[in-house]
Structure 1
Amino acid sequence: MAAGDEEGQAAEPEAAVELAVEGPRSFKDLGVTDVLCEACDQLGWKMPTKIQLEAIPVALQGRDIIGLAETGSGKTGAFALPILQALLETPQRLFALVLTPTRELAFQISEQFEALGSSIGVHSTVIVGGIDTMSQSLALAKKPHIIIATPGRLVDHLENTKGFNLRALKFLVMDEADRILNMDFETEVDKILKVIPRDRKTFLFSATMTKKVQKLQRAALKNPVKCAVSSKYQTVEKLQQYYIFIPSKFKDSYLVYILNELAGNSFMIFCSTCNNTQRTALLLRNLGFTAIPLHGQMSQNKRLGSLNKFKAKARSILLATDVASRGLDIPHVDVVINFDIPTHSKDYIHRVGRTARAGRSGKSITFVTQYDVELFQRIEHLIGKKLPAFPMQEEEVMMLTERVAEAQRFARMELREQGEKKRSRNDDDDDTEEAIGVRNKVAGGKKKKRKAF
C-alpha cells in the first residue's frame, strides 16, 4: 500500500485484554449510551456478542481496531455503535465511511445503521455500482452522516462529483477487508486513503487475516488493538458439515435428491459461475422447486429483489455465486450446499457461515467430484477437521436421472432464449444510439445553416 505507509508502520497491534469471567455483560456495561442501548433492545440485541464485548470498549476509548471474528458474529454492531456514540458527542455531516466488497452487504450495513440511529436522526447513504450516479450525487450533496460504499463507485464520485470530498471524515471502516483486497480493489483503496484525513479512527474488520490485510493494516492504522474472537480459521460449533463424493455427470441428480430429502428447509446453493447459477435455478424451477438466482450479471434491482424474496420466505432456495457468501445476514438459512466447491478454501468458511448464525444450528453439504479432491482436502486442512459423508441412497438418486435430464434440456433451451433476448436488446440499444447520432448530426447541420444566413 502506498498511502500513509509511515503511519503506525512499526507498531504491531496490541491484543485486546482478556475479559474477566465476571466482566461486562450488557451494552450499558460496555459504556454504550442509554439511547443506543434502547435501540439495541428494540432490535432484539439482548447481550453483546464476543466480538462486541472485545471491540466496543476499545473503540469507545478512541483506539484503532483490527477485528477478527467468524462470520455471523455481530461485527456490524461492533463498529456501528462506537461510531454512532461518537456522532452523538460531536455531531457533523460526512462523519464516517464504511467500505464493503459487495453491494448487498452495503445495503445490509446501511439498514443496521438506520435501525440503530433512527431515534437520533442518523442519515446514511449507499454508494454502489449498478445504480444511477446522478441520484447518488444528489444524495451526497445532502451530506449524510454515514456513507456505505463499494470502493470503485466511491472513487468515481470522489473524482467526478463536484463539491464532494471526505476531508472532514472522522471514521473509516473496512468491512470484510480481506475480500475487498482479494477482489482487486487495492488501487481504489489507495486512492481513498490519499484523500481522507490522517487524523481519523480506523476499524479493519475481517473473518480471515491475509498478507494483503496485514499490508493494509500498516498503511491505514495507528497503534491498533487486535480484537480476535478466533485466531484460527474455524466454522461455528452448531454447524453440521458433510460432504458427498459423486461422479461429475450426476451432480444435478444428487442436488435434486438432497432437496427432496431435506424438504421443508430453506437452502442457499453456491455455484462458481453466473451461468451455472442461472442454469441450475432454471433446472430446479422446471422440477417444481421455488428457486431464485443471485449473481453479478443481474441488474442491481433484480439482485435486491431476489434477496428480499428469499428473506421474506417467498422462495425457499437461493442459488448464488460468491457475491452472497460474505456478510449477508439471512436469519433463516437452514442448509448451505456447495454445489461447486470453492477454489479458495477461505471462501468455504464464508459460504457455510450463511447458516448456523447467532447461536442457531444448521447444515452444510459440499459436493466433491473426481476433479475436486485436492480442493476438498485443502478445506479440511484449513478447518482442522475431517468431514463425515452425508448418508445417501444411491439407487434413489439414479431413479431421478430421467426426470432431471428432461429438466436439463428445458433449462438449456431457456438459457439460450435469455441469451438471444439479451443480444437483441443490445443490438436495439446500438441502433438507437446510431439513430440519435444521425439526428444530432442533422440537427447540427441545420443549426449551422441558420447561423450562415
Structure 2
Amino acid sequence: METQESDIETKLTFKDLGINDELCAACDRMGWKEPTAIQKEAIPIALKDRDVIGLAETGSGKTGAFGLPVLQALIAHPQRLFALVITPTRELAFQIKEQFEALGKAIGVSCCVIIGGLDMTAQALELAKRPHIIVATPGRLVDHLEKTKGFNLKALKYLIMDEADRILNMDFEEEIDKILKVLPRERRTMLFSATMTSKVNKLQRAHLRDATRVEVSTKYQTVSKLQQNMLFIPCKHKHMYLTYILNEIGNQTVIIFCATQLTTLRTALMLRNLGFSAIPLYGKMNQNKRLGALNKFKSRERSILLATDVASRGLDIPRVDYVINFDVPLHSKDYIHRVGRTARAGLSGISITFVSQYEVEVYQRIEQLLNMKLDVYPTVQEEVLVLQERVAEAERFAKLEMSRIDEKTGQKSKRKFNNSNRGDDTEESLGVRKRLKKKGGNFKK
C-alpha cells in the first residue's frame, strides 16, 4: 500500500489538481478559494481511478475531497444510481447532500437522503426516481435494500464511507456487511476517517483494492486560533457559572455540549426561563425538529445551541464564537471534535470546559492527549453567586416543565421505544437494539 505525507505548502488551485472548469466554477461560487490539505492529497489519486483511504480530522474538507472526483466521473460517464455515501448521522447526511447539490447544480445532479426518522414510503418514491447520488445512514439503507421492491445498487460505480471510525464504533458492522454484499465488485471505494482504528483497518483490507492511503494529521490537535480554557467548579454550581458566562459574552453564538439528552433539554429550558435564546438538539428529537433546531442556529435566529455529541462531528456551521463543554466528554478524542465546532476556516474561537469534582480524572486524560494545560477562564465569584436565586428559580421551572413533557409524551415515547427499528440511527437506540438482540428479542417488526 502506498502512503503519502501532506507537507505540501505550495499554493495549488482546484484546476491544478485536475478538476474541470465547470466544477472549479462551482467551488468558486461556494467560496472555496483553494484546496484543503486532504483535498490536495486525495483528489489527484481519486481522479486516477484509484481507491482511497483518507485520514483527516473533522472540518478538514473531506466532503470536497470525495465529492469533486465523484462529480467529475459522473460528468464523464453519466448514469443514475452512480454513487452511494454512507455516513453515521442524519445531520451529516443532509449536509453532504447540500454540498453535492451545490457543487453539481450546473450539471443537474439529483441527490436523495435515506435516513431513519422519516417516512419510508416517501423515501421509496425518491429512490424510484433513480437519483445520481444517495446519501444514507446504514440502518435505513439496509431496510430499503430488504423491503423496497425494485431497489438495488448493482450498477453502482462509487462507494464512499465518511466518518468510517464513527460508523463502526456505533456498531453498524452488521449493516455495513449487508450493504457491501449487494454492491458490485467493480467499483471505486473511498473511505474517510478521523482515526485508523482496528475496525477501520479490517474494513479497508477486506473491501478496498490497491488503495492509496493519504494522511494529513497524524496526531490529535486543535487549531492555533482556538483559545482553550477550563473552569473547576462544584457540580451543583454549573448552571450558575453557565448563566454568568452567557451574560458576559453577550449575543455571540455558542454551542453547549452536554453528556445526556436529559441534561440538554433541562438546561435549555432553564436558560429559556432566564431569557436566553437557547434551543436543544439531541438524538431522540424527531427529524424535522432536529433540522429546524440546526437551521435556526445556523441562521442566527437562535444564538445558543445545546447539544449532545450528535452535533460534535462533521457539521459545518459557518460561525461559532464559543464552545462550552458543560460536561467533560468521557472519550478524550470527542473533546477535539467538540471544540472543532469553533475556530474554523481560519477564524478564531474560544472553548470553555467545566470540570466538576466528579470529572477530574476524565479531564486529565484530555490534557494528556493535548499535551498541554488549559488556562483557567476568568470569572468573578461574587458576581456568580449573585445569580444563585434567579438560577434556582429557573431550575425549578425547568423541572416542572420536564414533568409536564414527561406526562404529555410518556405513552407516546413508550410506544416508540417498543417499536424502535434499525431505521432510527441514534446511538441511544443502537444500544437498545443490541441489548434486545442479545436477549433474543425481535426488533424488526
Q: TM-score, normalised by structure 2?
A: 0.91
Matches within 5 A, 1:166-181: 166-181=153-168
Matches within 5 A, 1:193-342: 193-342=180-329
Change in 2 beyond 3 A, CA 1:142/1:19: same
1:373 to 360, 369, 376: 360
1:151 is aligned to: 138
State the distance in 1 between where 2:414 and 2:254 align: 37
State the distance in 2 between where 1:187 and 1:364 align: 37
State the distance in 1 between where 2:330 and 2:415 align: 38
Q: Deviations over 1:28-71 (max 9, x none)?
A: 01100110001111111111111111111111111111111221
1:387 is aligned to: 374
SS in 2 for 1:148: strand
Task: Measure how far apart 1:262 and its partner are.
Answer: 1.4
Say if 1:70 and 1:235, in contact at 8 Å, map to a contact too. no
Instruction: Kindly indicate whether residue 176 of structure 2 is the aligned counterpart of residue 189 of structure 1.
Output: yes
Task: Measure how far apart 1:264 and its partner are.
Answer: 2.3
State the distance in 1 between where 2:215 and 2:359 align: 32
Identical pairs, percent: 67
Say if 2:6 and 2:37, in contact at 8 Å, map to a contact too. no
Say if 1:73 and 1:357, in contact at 8 Å, map to a contact too. no
Q: Which moved more, 1:47-56 or 1:416-425?
A: 416-425
Task: Measure how far apart 1:296 and its partner are.
Answer: 1.1
**Amino acid corresponding to residue 316 of structure 1 in structure 2:** S
Task: Measure how far apart 1:211 and its partner are.
Answer: 1.9
SS in 2 for 1:169: coil
Instruction: Kindly indicate whether residue 16 of structure 2 is the aligned counterpart of residue 16 of structure 1.
Output: no
Change in 2 beyond 3 A, CA 1:421/1:18: closer
2:24 is aligned to: 37
State the distance in 1 between where 2:414 and 2:332 align: 41
SS in 2 for 1:16: strand
State the distance in 2 between where 1:363 and 1:292 align: 20
Task: Measure how far apart 1:423 and its partner are.
Answer: 2.3
1:61 to 48, 51, 74: 48
Q: Deviations over 1:339-376 (max 9, x none)?
A: 11111111111111111111111111111111111111
Instruction: Kindly indicate whether residue 90 of structure 2 is the aligned counterpart of residue 95 of structure 1.
Output: no
State the distance in 1 between where 2:108 and 2:415 align: 46
1:348 is aligned to: 335
State the distance in 2 between where 1:235 and 1:178 align: 19
2:386 to 386, 399, 414: 399
**Amino acid corresponding to residue 139 of structure 1 in structure 2:** E
**Amino acid corresponding to residue 367 of structure 1 in structure 2:** F
Say if 1:283 and 1:411, in contact at 8 Å, map to a contact too. yes
Say if 2:112 and 2:133, in contact at 8 Å, map to a contact too. yes
Instruction: Kindly indicate whether residue 48 of structure 2 is the aligned counterpart of residue 48 of structure 1.
Output: no
RMSD over aligned Cα, in angstroms?
A: 1.5
State the distance in 1 between where 2:186 and 2:365 align: 42
2:402 to 404, 407, 415: 415
**Amino acid corresponding to residue 242 of structure 1 in structure 2:** N
Unpaired runs of 5+ residues, structure 1, are: 1-12, 430-453
1:3 is aligned to: none
SS in 1 for 2:59: coil
Say if 2:6 and 2:215, in contact at 8 Å, map to a contact too. no
SS in 2 for 1:272: coil
Q: Deviations over 1:209-230 (max 9, x none)?
A: 2222112211221122121111
2:59 is aligned to: 72
Unpaired runs of 5+ residues, structure 2, are: 417-445
State the distance in 1 between where 2:186 and 2:201 align: 20
Q: TM-score, normalised by structure 1?
A: 0.89
What number of residue pairs does the alignment pair up? Answer: 416
State the distance in 2 between where 1:373 and 1:172 align: 42
**Amino acid corresponding to residue 362 of structure 2 in structure 1:** L
Largest Rg, 1 or 2? 1
Q: Which moved more, 1:374-383 or 1:297-306?
A: 374-383
1:128 is aligned to: 115
State the distance in 2 between where 1:82 and 1:49 align: 15
**Amino acid corresponding to residue 324 of structure 1 in structure 2:** A
State the distance in 2 between where 1:219 and 1:366 align: 40
